[in-house]
Structure 1
Amino acid sequence: MSNSRIKEWYNRFKDGRTSVDSEPRSGRPSTRRNENVVEQVWTLVMEDRHITVRELANEIGVSIGSVHSILTEDLGMRRAPYSPDMALCHFWLFPKPKMPLKGTQFESREDIMRNATARLITIPKDTFQKCFQQWRKRWEKCVHYQGYYFEWGLGFCTSKSINVFLPTKGSLLF
């Protein structure tokens, strides 16, 4: 501490001050780690497990950084990993029209859309049903293994686009 700061504190105590604690300040009170705010974040996440950090911040009236800190530090949540194997379009739907159209040159965007749509229409309804059954099995495994599951040829259930949070002690929140 500098000599000028020591003299300043000496004069404060000489004038009757009895504590080194900061005096209360006027202005907006800190809301960042308030128990009420933490409870509000928890409640909103439990009501809508796909809610974004931005939506939470807007709803509660605190900064995005505060919400992120509450989620990770106070509530022990982390972002759920993304898996292209869990995204229905990635593991099943896109390959269906893509394979027959591979290597084909198209004149326009509309031509691409027309050809892709024609290929999608040929997929039988029961094939879609089987796809959804497989998808359900995959996400159940992903939930069971808390986001870390591997199936040969399919890959890990780990990446970033699923916008839900995972408690460190629990499982995926859907």
Structure 2
Amino acid sequence: MSQFEQRVNIRFMCKLGKSASETLAALQQVYSANALKKTAVYDWFSQFKNGQETLENNPRSGRPPTSRNEEMIKQVRRLVRADRKITIAELEQEVGISRGSIHAILTENLEMRRVCAKFVLRLLTTDQMEFRMFVAGDLFQKSSQDSTFLEKIVTGDESWVYAYDPETKMRSSKWHTKSSPEPKKSRYVRSKTKVMLISFFNIDGLVHHEFVQSGQSVIGVFYVQVLQRLRDAIQRKRPDKWQGQWFLHHDNTPSHTSFVVQQCLADKNIPVITQPPYSPDIAPCDFWLFPTLQMGLRGTRFSTVEDIQSSGTPELWEIPQEAFRRCFQQWQNRWSTCVCVCV
């Protein structure tokens, strides 16, 4: 905008009969460091003096594009569609244009970018994806129609807590000056000492948690005992949920779907929210609670299982209530996203 204004002023000074040097001095006085250079001022002054009225630059013919024409773009598109893994170097040999032109065609004309495949634990079958979409859609519809639906859910799962879990690369980063030596650390793996944590929570916070004793396997009979302790905790800590109906959410591991567990849930009249198979991204314990706990314990060494338990319990109880509410809101958003992606 400043350049356009200065061109207007140059034309104005020319019509007043001023000289090019006077025009340059006036522009430098008004615009100081942002004033046009002497060559530009004299050039525009000469054009206006010769009768030019427009303030725009004269069109230039330029060099005609030879490497990014329609034919070349179609050829690159055809080669990429035939082999999605083809490299720019291979395209350069195929079409005979420069590397920079190929990169411009891919990124600007074809709007492509090279991405790596995302690692997932399991690729779902068509039936599993349809069931996942159905469950997510049903839960999202219920949560939209009933504003108290999320408040009625108690979700839980099991996870290992290790005596030593290496800290992440981001957490090990430190502020250094240019003269500081480059930080180094050796490669560590998780320790063999570990303990199983079972945790249940709802939108208001943690409801019940316990550590499984060494040598005890989480099988159906044991999980029934855990559910009984969960019911006692709900009656004691969430009396409003105990008086009304509440829903249990857990995954599809054999210990959760065994006959004794299903019979116990039916006898106690506890409805269960369906969890799609191989979908940890829509299980709150997997995508939020356990990562939050593990992040707080990473990088710390515990010598015994008792030390793990004494440190893990406060870490759980220190999670604020607002974080649990945000987790359930994220859970609802993930249902919606799941439906939108699968449609």
Relative contact order higher in (CA < 8 Å, ≥ 6 apart): 1
* TM-score, normalization by structure 2: 0.21
TM norm structure 1: 0.38
